[in-house]
């Protein structure tokens, strides 16, 4: 089975080459990398040209960008990856063999945050634990799904925030996720720049507000001030 790795980006020039170079072995194995730019004002696209199979522009917004990339994908499995997240070695084998063995149609990896602060270890533990308990995956965990199922449900709900939670709610109606214990490494810059405790409070507040059906557009204004 082939995998299409779909990466929504916006002003990721400082780290995009490192992120895409890390995907080189997967491209060599026959998988594809699709980059969807949401209107970068830096050199993200220019720097990415040598390291992606397709690069397109789409309106800003992760859900919109990822849906646009999925329409171009040729793989039987879609893997949605943030531009600051790194997959574990042999991610393609882990996904394909795991889905075949468990008979699952979607899943995600456990996550490690890149920073060294001890509180980050607690945050990532709770993220992974909560994901298993509630069968909900976040974008930081590199969600993957069979393309036929993704197309059947209409892709990501095109909302301004919490698109990963919304997708997970739909997908789990079609079966439990494959929760791989191998870890992706995602940047902790958001936590460190905004403050660990402040970010923890903000994330829990946003999730609670979304649970009570507060409009994601309003929540996005808090997340992206």
**Stretch 10-37: mean pLDDT:** 97
Residue 29 · residue 89 · CB < 8 Å: no
Helix (H) or strand (E) holding 77: strand 77-80
Q: What is the pLDDT of residue 16?
A: 96
| Secondary structure class of 182 (helix, strand, coil) | strand
- Region of poorest pLDDT, from 59-63, 94-98, 190-194: 190-194
**Stretch 65-71: mean pLDDT:** 98
The pLDDT confidence band at residue 217, using thresholds 50, 70 and 90, is: confident
- The residue among 164, 199, 138 whose CA lies nearest residue 66 is 164
- The residue among 31, 29, 30, 34 whose CA lies nearest residue 54 is 34
Is the per-residue pLDDT at 193 higher than 90? no
**Residue partners of 53: CB distance under 8 A and separation at least 6:** 27, 32, 33, 34
Q: pLDDT: is 213 or 9 the higher one?
A: 9
**Stretch 115-139: mean pLDDT:** 93
Is the per-residue pLDDT at 179 higher than 80? yes
* Global confidence as pTM: 0.93
Count of alpha carbons within 13 angstroms of residue 216, beta-carbon side: 13
Q: What is the pLDDT of residue 194?
A: 78
Is the per-residue pLDDT at 68 higher than 90? yes
| Secondary structure class of 12 (helix, strand, coil) | coil
Q: What is the pLDDT of residue 225?
A: 65
Instruction: Give the pairing type, strands 106-113 and 144-146.
Output: antiparallel
Percentage of the chain lying above the pLDDT 70 cut: 100
Q: What is the mean pLDDT of the chain?
A: 93
| Residue 56, beta-bridge partner list | 36
CATH superfamily label, 3-188: Spore Coat Polysaccharide Biosynthesis Protein SpsA; Chain A (3.90.550.10)
């Amino acid at each position: 089975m082939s995998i299409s790795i779909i990466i929504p980006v916006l002003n990721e020039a400082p780290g995009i080459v490192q992120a895409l170079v890390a995907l080189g072995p997967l491209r060599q194995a026959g998988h594809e990398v699709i980059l969807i730019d949401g209107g970068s004002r830096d050199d993200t696209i220019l720097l990415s040209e040598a390291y992606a199979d397709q690069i397109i522009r789409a309106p800003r917004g992760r859900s919109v960008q990822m849906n646009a990339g999925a329409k171009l994908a040729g793989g039987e499995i879609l893997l949605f990856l943030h531009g600051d997240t790194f997959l574990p070695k042999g991610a393609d084998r882990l996904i394909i063999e795991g889905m075949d063995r468990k008979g699952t149609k979607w899943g995600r990896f456990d996550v490690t945050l890149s920073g060294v602060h001890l509180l980050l270890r607690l945050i990532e533990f709770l993220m992974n634990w909560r994901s298993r308990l509630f069968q909900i995956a976040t974008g930081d965990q590199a969600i993957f799904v069979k393309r036929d199922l993704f197309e059947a449900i209409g892709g990501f709900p095109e909302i301004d925030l919490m698109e990963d939670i919304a997708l997970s709610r739909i997908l789990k109606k079609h079966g439990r996720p494959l929760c791989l214990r191998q870890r992706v490494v995602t940047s902790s810059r958001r936590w460190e720049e905004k403050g660990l405790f402040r970010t923890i409070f903000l994330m829990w507040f946003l999730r609670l507000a979304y649970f009570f059906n507060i409009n994601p557009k309003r929540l996005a204004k808090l997340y992206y001030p």
